Each structure stands twice: as C-alpha cells, then as structure tokens.
Structure 1
Amino acid sequence: MRDSLVQKEPGFITARDLSFAGILHDVKKSGTSLQPIFEAFTNSIEAIKIGVNEGGRDKGKIIISIFSEEKTDQSFEFKSLTIRDNGVGFNDAEFSRFNTFKDSSKGFKNLGSGRVQYVHFFDTTTITSVFCQDENYYEREFVLSKNKYFLNKNAIVNLKHYKISTEEHPYTKVTFSNLLEKSNVYNNLNAVILKDELIKRYLHFFCFNSKLLPKIELKFYVGNILKDSQEISETDIPKFDKKEIVNVFYSKLSYDASKIEILEKKEELEVTSFKVSKNLLDNNDLKLISKGEVVEGTKINLSGISKADNINGNKYLILVSGNFIDERDTNLRGELDIPRKQGSNSFDAFHSETIFIEDIEKSVNDGLLKLYPEIEVIKKKHENDLKELKEMFFIDDDNEVEISFNDDDKRILEKYYEAQAKKEAKIDANIKKSIDRLDDLDTSAPNYEEELEIEINKLVKVIPEQNKRTLSHYVARRKLVLELFQKILDKKLKIQGDDSRNKDESLIHNLLFHQKSTNSYDSDLWIINEDFIYFRGNSEFKLKDLEIRGEKVFKNSFDEEETRYLKSLGENRLIKRPDVLLFPEESKCIIIEFKSPYVNVSSHLTQINTYASLIRNYTNDNFEIKTFFGYLIGEGIEPRDVQAGVTTFEHSYNFDYLYSPSQKVTGFDSKENGSIYTEVIKYSTLLQRAKLRNSIFMERLGIK
C-alpha cells in the first residue's frame, strides 16, 4: 500500500489509506539494538549495486561515522551516527519505493519496514541524497520521526527540499540523531565493535561477494576528533574452504501418474563451503544464492549436521549458486520459482520437467558428506542420540514422522506424540464405530453370530494396540526413574559433586517418596513393593502430626506415666519423624527408614522397633495398630553385624537381603502385644528387584 508517490514539493508525506500510528503499533521495535544501522547499511549495499549495474561504476564506497562525547569518568555518550554511500541515490523511483509500506519489489534483504525501525530508535533521522535524473543532478533531503508533530499529520516523513544540485556525484547520507532511549549498546559503540557486528550480520553476503565488496570504512569520533578508523575488506572475510559441482536431476510424473520418474536431464550447481569460527558464525547454514544475493525466503537445510553443532571450533556455511537458481528468480523479494514436492503447486509442477527444492537439498547434502567425512561422524552421533531417545521412551519407528537434526529432544518427542495421538484418535473412532454398529445387530437374524464375531474381531485387533501404547509410557517412566536411582547410587548427578553424604540420602528419599508429602499414589515406592503406592501414608511427618482421613493418629493428652516416658532422658519422642509411614489396613502399619549409602545400617537396627512401639502404645483408641512391617534400607550392610545385633534376622539368598520373620512389639499398660516383620535391604538390591519387574512388563509388551 502506497503512502504517496514521488513528491517534489517540500512538506509532510502523508498516508492516504493507512494510519502511521497503527503501523508503529503493529511493527514493533526490534529487539536488536543496532537494527536501524543494519537497515541503513542494507540500503547502501542495494543502492551501490543498482548504481554499478546501471552505470558500470566501480564497487562503490560506504563510510559509517560514529560521533560520541567523552564523559568525566572516561566513558562515552553516543551523539549521532552517519552512513554515507555513493550508490544510485534517492531518485524518484527509489524515493517512491521508500515511501511504500511493505513494498515487495526486488531488493537485497530489504524488509520494507526499515524506516519504522529508524523512528522507533531515534527522534530524528535525516537523509540527504544527490541523484541523477533526466541528465540533471538533484538533491533531496527529508527527515523521519514519530514525534507528535509528525503523527498529527499522519506522517513519519517530512521532505525538507528538492532542488537542482551543483554536486555531480550521486550519494546518500543517513544521519541518526537523538536516541529515544538511553542505550549502553550505543554508548559503547566504536569502530572495532561495529566492524565485528557488521561482519557477523552480513557474513553470508560478504562470503559470497568478498571480491566485489564496496570499500567499507568505519570511523569513530570523540568530540569531532577522529580517534579510530577501521575497514572491512576482503582479508576480514573467511575464505572458502572448498568448491564442488553437484548435479541435480529433473523429475517428471510418469504417464500413468503412478510414480515420479528421475530423468537424465540435469543442472549443475556450484557448492561453495566455508569453515567459520563458531565465534563468528552462530549457526551452521545452507543458503541458495541468486544473482549474488542470499535468498532468505527459500528454506533449505543441512541434513547431516544441526545448526548448533561445531567441529573443532568451526561451523559450516554452505552457499549454493548456479544459472538454474538465477533463472528461477522472481520479482518477489526472497522468493524463487522452485517448487517443493509437498507444496500446494507440486501437482502442477509435475505436468512438466522440474527440479524440486528437496532435490537440491539432497544433492548438496550428499556432496557435503563426501567433502567432509567429519560431518558423517556428527550425523551418526545424531542418529544414535535419536535411537537412544526412542528406546528410552519406547517409541516405535514411524516413517510418517520427519525428524530434522535441528530438532531438539522436546520437538522430536512432540512430533512422535502428535503422530501417535492421531493414530490413537483413529483407533478410538474405529472402536466407537464398532460399538455404534451393535445397534444394528438383530439377535434373531440367521447371521447374527457371524456379524457379532466380525465386530468382536475388530475390537480384539485395536484395543491391545491402544493399551500397549498406554502401558509403554507407564513402563518408560519407570525405566527413567530406575536410571535416576542408579545415577544417585553411582554419584553421577552434578548436585552430588560436593561429597555431601546427607544429600545422597535426601536424594533417594525424595526419589522414592517426596519429603513432607502425603500423596503415596504419585510416589515411586513401587521400587520397594508394587502395593505400597496404593496405601495411605506420609513422608517425614512428626508423629504428633500424623493424620489418617483427617483424624489425628496420636492422642492429644496422656496420663502422668505416659507423659513421663515420652519426654524422659531429655527427649520428646512424639516429634520423631519416621521417613515413611504407610497404613494398608486399619490394624497394620508399614515403617520405612532410609539411611545414607555410607553408614553401617546395623547401627540403626532398633530404630524401626522404637517407632512401632510408639505407634502401638500411644495412638488414639480408634487406631488399634498391632501388625507392623519394617524396612531398613541402606547400602552399607554387613550381614554378620546385623545378625550379631539382632539374632532373629535371617539371610535370604534369593535377593541378598536379611529378614526377621517376627519380633514382639511390647504393649505397655495392659495393651496387647503386637508383632513386626522387618527387612534390612540394600538400595542396589531394591534396584535389581525393580529392574527385573520392569523388564517383565517390557517383555509382555514386546519391547526390547
């Protein structure tokens, strides 16, 4: 949409069919602080290119000058910045395009919203330009701003003058003044920093056009005194590492439209590869080049290496050019007339011989693997990582899921789960159809049994597959928990780096049943016993605070003798905190104690019995708990120490643990005695048991 066509009379250039206040609201300020400079630099590159093409002039020149003032603390305050080029200048055609919002005509990386970024960052942007038109030279000067004076005119451009010029050399100078917001990026800006930023920003373009670059000078002034001068030249640009010609073959739909035929007809493309320091190039990249310009709109990917990979500190920039690409250029910026197989126009494309983007992508990537064997190593690593991820979550192979090396684990899982969700929806729909068809069955019909059997067979096929996927996720989660348990025991977690032994005990406790929790259902106590997750319970609560179904377990008041005992020897026995208490039935209690992997567990053999005694004797009458099961769990277990400490313990040779079949829990003050069964068991033994149970699940599901 055009704001105005060419205007030669001074004054505001107002919008006819749009609101600049609305545009400024929609086109947000860039998060890149130097974006106005990049926009102006892009315009200079484009203006020089047009001037070279039209007038046969030399490579051109761009001068960027930074003006700052030195403050008393030897820091600097940004004042202004100018970019001057000797390109074609703002002739009527270029000025008209500049004043066309979202212009889609051809231009090097010009997004059509650069002027909006000018006014977002600076109160005043002044552009002075001399150009040749109708064999005369003219000067045009205009100012950009979004201050109220401009917006009240529904304009951001004010043409100051348009006149015949005595200058006979085209140029354009852009001056940015009066930052709207204080910025350390600009205050710290100098020639060296700006040079580095420009090289990083325009690396693709510089690499391909290193021998055709205009002369680029950067100057840094302090108080109008030149302090430093830099130049971007061919020597600053990475030199290509390798050049290779690859063949790309045409395709055509067969006569019966049953398949795609690869033809002998081909095109040659030149692949220019650069090894660039990872400090200079953020991502590995593959770009098409059309007539010397990087085509940003056509997406083409490296398939053997992700954007983030680096090899020996280098990233790879791959630029692909050739007559075929040049001939497929269009009038729309950043777009080539090269179809995709999956694109909406692919059917039309097959009516004639064609080359698809995917063909170019495959040919280039195949060629790169031959040029750089080290990429093959990276490729295999990604393939192994994907295989491990699929094995970890029991994901079946699915040819319909397209995985890119640039996909992180989260995106890969999302893709598989999205595909799985579609399949499950289809399964559910088929189940629903079978159930709906039951309404149509006639029990008195001669073929009733046959029709019913058909529907039963359909359900028999789909329901197991649906259940298998659900159970696979269940088993996959358990597998991850077991792997984490193993890492804790092996001290391989980063948090265990300080050698804190108490931390290891806490990690194990929280893995199995989170401390201060009452939600045993979501715990991982199944590692000890499958049934434990179904029992009411709590983790590390004081005895006096225990509740079952909202009712306090321990009494609120005690007689004199009970009080004496509970607080004797300077202790308060009711504030003891068992690691885990579970209540499977009204008269039963499970007591679990975790010990650091580094302590001798035999030193704590009576701890569980003490808890059992307190629960047996000092709880409310509603809780007549007489049967106890104790589990003392650690890693430092010496069987002879255990049996020497408590003689009722016996050794189980099946799974390497000790157990006491029954010990008496004495009832005080005429209370009936209780009993306790106790196991002393290693964490590693629990892990072995749990892994075996999980592997049985996996075998039943047919998972390797």
Structure 2
Amino acid sequence: MKYEDNQYIVPESLYWKGVLHNFSKSRTALQPIFEAFTNALEAIKILQKTEPSYKGEISIRINSAETTVPDSYNFAGLSISDNGIGFDDDQFKRFNTFRDITKGFKNLGSGRIQYVHYFDNIIVKSVFCQEGKFYEREFSASKKKAFLDKNSIIYHKYCKETNETASKTTISFNGLLENSGIYNKLDQTELKEQLKKRYIHYFCHNRTSIPKIDIQFYIQGELKGETSIIESDFPGIDKTEPLELQYSKISSNGKSVEKLDKVKEFKIDSFRIPRNLIDNNDLKLVSKGEIVEESEIKLESIPKGEHVNGFRYIFLVSSEYIDDRDSDMRGVLNIPSIDNFTKNRNLFTEEEILLEEIQEGVNNKINTMYPEIEEVQQEHLEQLEQLKEMFLIDDETAGSINISINDSESKILEKFYEAEAKKTALLDASIKDSIDQLNKLDTTSPNYLQELKKEVDKLVKAIPLQNKKSLTHYVARRKLVLDLLAKVLDKKLEVQQSGREINEALIHDLLFQQGESNPENSDLWIINEDFIYFKGSSNIVLSQVEIEGDKLFKEDFTTEEEKYLRSLGENRKIKKPDVLLFPEEGKCIILEFKAPDVNVSDHLTQIDKYAGLIRNYTADNFQITTFFGYLLGESIEPRDVLGAVSSYEESYQFDYLFRPSTKVIGFDGRNNGAIYTEVIKYSTLLERAKQRNKIFIEKLQ
C-alpha cells in the first residue's frame, strides 16, 4: 500500500486554508450529500465498465434524534453506502489530489471541500480489490484546527487486508456545522424527492439500469421509515432533439464578436408531465449527468406556471461543451456571456459558444418540438400588445427591453418604466450639457452665433422629448380611468358580480374618493377639465364642509333657522351632497351621482334643495349666489325629465338635458341666487372624455 497508517495527507504546493477560503460554501444545503451520491453512482459506473452486467446498489441511512416538540426531530447524521469500485490506491490518490482531472467524469476534486464546509467530521470506510486481494481502508475529512494545523483536510487511519469478498464504501457525515431546517426535516420521503429532482436527467436516461437505491430513516436508532427509488418513479423521455450551435470569437479589431463555422452538438431531452405532478415548467443545463441548479439559461418559450392541455414540461440540455465548462465547484459553469467574453477574454478560450447563443438556440428549438407551446407564446404577445395600448408604450421603448414570456404584467411594466427612466436621465443630461455649454460661449468669438444656434437646437429638440414622456404617463393614466369607468357601467368588475348594490359608490369613488377634500387628486376631469382645479369636497356633511380652513355653514343659528333645519324629523345640517366645488367667491358647483339603474327623473329637485341650504345657511363671509348643478346617471328618459320639470330643455346635440338659470330663493333678508342645471348620462361623459383623450394619444404617436 502507498499510504501509511495514522497520517495526515499533506499536499505539495497547496495551502488548504487558502483553498477553503477561495472555494465558498455552496448555497445548496444538500450539496455534500449530492456530491457523495454522485461519487457512489460514478464508483458503480467504473466497475460496470469491466463488468457490464454488474448490478449496483446504494443504501442511504438518515439518523435523527427526538426533540421535546412532538413530531419534530434534529438531524444527527447521514451515511451513504455503495458497492462500487471503492477507494483503492488510485481512487484514494485522486480523492486527495485537488483539481484532479484523471477520473474520466471530469471531476475536479471540489466535493470534499463541500463535505468539510458543512460537516465537522466525515468518516469513510471502503473495501476494495487490488491486485487480486481485498483491503479495507478508513480515513476521515475535516477542517478542524487539528487538520488545518497540519495543512490537511484528510486523515488516513489505516489500510489493511480483509476477509471481505465484495467491494463496499460507506461515507458517514457527522456533526452538522450549522443548524439547518432542511436537514432537520430530512426523512426518507423528503430525501427521495430531493434526489429525484436533482438527478432526473440521470434517472430518466437510465430508467432500466439504475442501481438499487434504498433510503432508511432512523430515530434514536430505531427504523421509522424506508423507501426506494425505482424505475417507475420517472417518466420516459417524450422527445429528444439534437441542436448544433456555433462557436464565436473576438473579431480582429477586438471590438465585436463574430460567429465561426465550427459547431458543437447539444441535445435537448424533453419530459411531458401531468401538471399535478410538477408545479412549474423548467429548463436546466446538465453537466456530467447532473442538473445544474444555478444557471443563467432561462426558459422563455413558455411561462413557468403555464400548462398546455394539462401538461407541463421539463427540458434538459446536455453537451460535452457544458461538461467541459464545469468549474471547480460542481455545477458552476464557466460559460461566457457576450459582455464577459469581450471584457474578460483572458478568462476564456479563443473560441466559445456564448450564453446568449445557447439561450436563443434552445428556446427556438423547443418551439419546433412543441407547436402547442407557440400558441401560448402568441397569447403572451397579444397580452403585451394590450399592455402597450393600455399604457401607451411606444414601439421603440418596447423594443429596447428584454421581455420574457415568464414576465408578469407588473414585471413588463417595471422593465418599461426602467427603460423610460434611463431615457429621461439621458435627456436631462443632454439638457444640462447644453446649458453648461451656453455658459462657456464667448460673444466676441467669430463663431458665436453658430455655436449658440447649435446649443439652442439641441435644447429645442430635447425639451419636447422630455415633456412628451411625462405627458404619455399622464394620458395613459387617464385612459386607464376611462376604461375602468366603462367596466363599471357594463358591470364587468368582479365586485359587481356579488349582487351588492354598490354601483353608485364605485362611480363616486372613481370620480372623487368619498371623504376627500382635494379635487386635484380626483378624476372629475371626466365631467369637466376645470373641476380638478377648484376647491371642494366629496360626500362630507354640510356642517363640516370647509373652504380654506373656514367652516362653510354657520356655527350658530337663530331659533327660527334651527327649527327649520330640524323640521319634519330631519337634520338638514348633516345632509351630504356627493360633491361640492367652489370655483371662485360666490359660486358653487353641486354634483349628484345616481346608480346606473336608478331613474334620474325621480331626483330632479335634490340639487335644488342643496342649493337652497347653501344659499341661506352658510356663514356670512360665504355669500354664494351662483350655482351650477349636475345630476349624473345612466337611466335617463328625456320625456320623464321634461314631463316632471317643464323648464328643462334638450340640448341641440340631444345627448343631455339642461335647465336655464332658475331662482334659488333667499330667506331672512338674503338675496335670491340662481342655478343652472344639467342632467347627463355617464356614458355621454365617458364618450366625451374618450374623444378628448384620444386627441392627446394621436398627438403622442
């Protein structure tokens, strides 16, 4: 034997503390278990090369301890046993050699680093055959101080001849260095699911020849559960398609990337799985038979949560190119993007297949493999067009952002607004630069006029573009509000399907939120553009209405006034007009909203009553004499209105009714006022507002 008993394995020209610092702990908590499981599969493969009929076996034992909380356990340790080739001198040498590339599976010896990052002590016992005899070897791995002080992470305990007649290796993980919810929840069922997910490519390709894999779960040394991974656990491959991708290199001038005639073959294995078995569609790269969890390649052909005819899809992409780009940390690929390739060319070979090429090529190939997926893509494009129309997203901006089929509507809009912000920043920078240049102009220079004109032209071009961006958002928001009003009138909102009578409240709050007193934040522009610039309130009792901090109504009333205000069992001081607006001193606009199904003609005098209260019972400093009333609804029959109050007339456009100025009687010495009133449909206001907004939209396009 080449290794002495009871010795630390100390490498030449390698400082383990530095290596452990440089190769960080994997973000995948079960990575050391995956590493050991992979080694077990590979150990069996090595034997099968010389004995093709050799039946491999892997046994996993999970040990847990009880806690004081019922049905809760603490992870105590885990062991993985296999009947592969075992740690003979050659295999043990490879295990001890960092960055070893001789194994044939392109492993670089980083697995043991994850072992010691996660566990305090790892013990390996291995029986193997060498030169016709069987031996047993035991060694341990750790990054404890005793090991690192010797510049080692491996301690070789012994290697001796044994009476055993079959190879077997058991690796035991003990002393989890950090408490982990993932490990504490680990039982036979959970580990099986984790292994199935991680090794689906290997298992699906080897369904009929996978090793016998058993998993046992022990609590306090007592067997509590066991399961096996078997052929029927995995779907067969639905389709396999080859894909050739071109290599690229940096151009001779070093400023661009050019494609080469040289190609490499990739393979796409697809699995069509009933949607109840998996939550998401997925695309993964496969390196050395294992799924790469952390990859920048994304599935763009179909949204993750989408299903097509009741099925979801997994696409696994493998190639020797991917295997060759696996890094020292298993599953971390060194495949360059275009930016990395051009900026850090010394990190890569002269010829590479770029990340973007793999991404595009694979997703395009998936579309040809499954035409039904293209239908989903078409739906996504239609959704995008709807968003563009709804939010007035211009084609230039939409074309400048990378929109994935996985993007939600909010994500698409987020990307759009980010692109808009960048454009605005560039415009602002351009404007500032021009202003700075103006400061530098010399009026005595012979080129002064030409230089001035140049800077002025730049400003004249930039400022309208900047203003256009702001106006686009303004108009787009108005378009959304109009669309919402249309849905309310058509009763298409989900809340309207509940049967509750809330249509009037929906319209009221859409136009001017009830209880608010700042019309500038309202959407009263739908009725009249000027309304949002006036002072006013929405659904506030008359006695509490304020104008610039002063109460509109009197604080004290005479006995006669109080008697009237509370006559007939009413309290007229707490009446609540839907909306009051005060455009200027002495004037008041009264708006009343009625539910679309209410006959408006039954409420023709309501605004008049409010006008009478405001004319006669406001504070002395508020002498309001001119009123404008707007009674709004949808169920308006002109003959009902004309028949009920003969002073109403139909407008010449026949889309609303109006009453010319009518007296508002003043009592107790107050002069009469006057009120002009309109009765108008919501749908009429909606069409008018749409036409006004359409003019803006056409100007922006």
- Give the TM-score, by structure 1 length: 0.81
Query: Is 1:515 matched up with 2:508?
Result: no
2:280 equivalent in structure 1: 283
Shift of 1:381: 1.6
Q: Give ranges in structure 2 of 5+ residues lacking alignment.
A: 9-14, 99-105
Distance 2:645 2:681 in 1: 17
User: 2:115 touches 2:122 (CA, 8 Å); kept in 1?
Assistant: no
1:207 equivalent in structure 2: 204
User: 1:52 touches 1:59 (CA, 8 Å); kept in 2?
Assistant: no
Q: Deviations over 1:149-181 (max 9, x none)?
A: x99x99xx9999945575844332547899999
Q: Give ranges in structure 1 of 5+ residues lacking alignment.
A: 1-5, 10-14, 98-104, 120-124
User: 2:249 touches 2:352 (CA, 8 Å); kept in 1?
Assistant: yes
Query: Is 1:311 matched up with 2:304?
Result: no
Distance 1:130 1:415 in 2: 55
Q: Deviations over 1:647-674 (max 9, x none)?
A: 2111125261111122211101121011
Residues 354 and 160 of structure 1, relative CA distance in 2, 3 Å threshold: closer
Identify which range, 535-544 or 654-663, moves more after superposition.
Answer: 654-663
What secondary structure does 1:249 align onto? strand
What secondary structure does 1:343 align onto? helix
Identify which range, 55-64 or 313-322, moves more after superposition.
Answer: 55-64
Q: Deviations over 1:348-379 (max 9, x none)?
A: 49995543232233333332222211121112
2:523 equivalent in structure 1: 524
Identify which range, 448-457 or 429-438, moves more after superposition.
Answer: 448-457
Equivalent runs, 1:412-561 vs 2, <5 Å? 412-442=412-442, 448-501=448-501, 503-561=502-560
1:137 equivalent in structure 2: 136
Distance 1:381 1:551 in 2: 56
Distance 2:599 2:109 in 1: 74
Residues 558 and 113 of structure 1, relative CA distance in 2, 3 Å threshold: farther
Residues 223 and 299 of structure 1, relative CA distance in 2, 3 Å threshold: closer
Q: How many residues align?
A: 665
What secondary structure does 2:170 align onto? strand
> What letter matches 1:477 in structure 2?
R
Match of 2:385 among 384, 387, 396: 387
Shift of 1:414: 2.7
Distance 1:301 1:428 in 2: 35
Query: Is 1:60 matched up with 2:56?
Result: yes
User: 1:655 touches 1:685 (CA, 8 Å); kept in 2?
Assistant: no
Q: Deviations over 1:519-544 (max 9, x none)?
A: 21111111111111111111111111
1:676 equivalent in structure 2: 675
Distance 2:110 2:485 in 1: 53
Residues 547 and 8 of structure 1, relative CA distance in 2, 3 Å threshold: farther
User: 1:520 touches 1:537 (CA, 8 Å); kept in 2?
Assistant: yes
Distance 2:644 2:666 in 1: 23
Query: Is 1:408 matched up with 2:408?
Result: yes
Distance 2:560 2:603 in 1: 27
Identify which range, 280-289 or 387-396, moves more after superposition.
Answer: 280-289
Distance 1:495 1:108 in 2: 61
Residues 455 and 329 of structure 1, relative CA distance in 2, 3 Å threshold: closer
2:37 equivalent in structure 1: 44
> What letter matches 2:620 in structure 1?
D
Residues 548 and 80 of structure 1, relative CA distance in 2, 3 Å threshold: same
> Percent of aligned positions with the same letter in both sequences?
46
Q: Deviations over 1:249-273 (max 9, x none)?
A: 3345666778755444333222221
Residues 136 and 496 of structure 1, relative CA distance in 2, 3 Å threshold: same
Identify which range, 209-218 or 646-655, moves more after superposition.
Answer: 209-218
Distance 1:215 1:343 in 2: 44
2:360 equivalent in structure 1: 362
> What letter matches 1:402 in structure 2?
N
Identify which range, 637-646 or 400-409, moves more after superposition.
Answer: 400-409
User: 1:68 touches 1:76 (CA, 8 Å); kept in 2?
Assistant: no
Shift of 1:131: 5.5
Shift of 1:144: 11
What secondary structure does 1:305 align onto? coil
1:84 equivalent in structure 2: 80
Residues 417 and 446 of structure 1, relative CA distance in 2, 3 Å threshold: same
Residues 504 and 160 of structure 1, relative CA distance in 2, 3 Å threshold: farther
> What letter matches 1:85 in structure 2?
S
> What letter matches 1:376 in structure 2?
E
User: 2:578 touches 2:592 (CA, 8 Å); kept in 1?
Assistant: yes
Identify which range, 324-333 or 216-225, moves more after superposition.
Answer: 216-225
User: 1:127 touches 1:143 (CA, 8 Å); kept in 2?
Assistant: no
Shift of 1:591: 1.0
Residues 205 and 427 of structure 1, relative CA distance in 2, 3 Å threshold: same
Equivalent runs, 1:285-304 vs 2, <5 Å? 285-304=282-301
2:102 equivalent in structure 1: none
User: 2:204 touches 2:236 (CA, 8 Å); kept in 1?
Assistant: yes
What secondary structure does 1:317 align onto? strand
What secondary structure does 2:407 align onto? coil
Identify which range, 266-275 or 352-361, moves more after superposition.
Answer: 352-361
What secondary structure does 1:303 align onto? coil
Q: Deviations over 1:135-155 (max 9, x none)?
A: 74133578999xxxx99x99x
Shift of 1:244: 1.6
What secondary structure does 1:46 align onto? helix
Distance 1:313 1:534 in 2: 54
Distance 1:504 1:180 in 2: 58
What secondary structure does 1:342 align onto? helix
Residues 581 and 126 of structure 1, relative CA distance in 2, 3 Å threshold: same
1:272 equivalent in structure 2: 269
Distance 1:264 1:181 in 2: 52
Shift of 1:689: 1.2
Distance 2:597 2:339 in 1: 60
Distance 2:418 2:263 in 1: 38
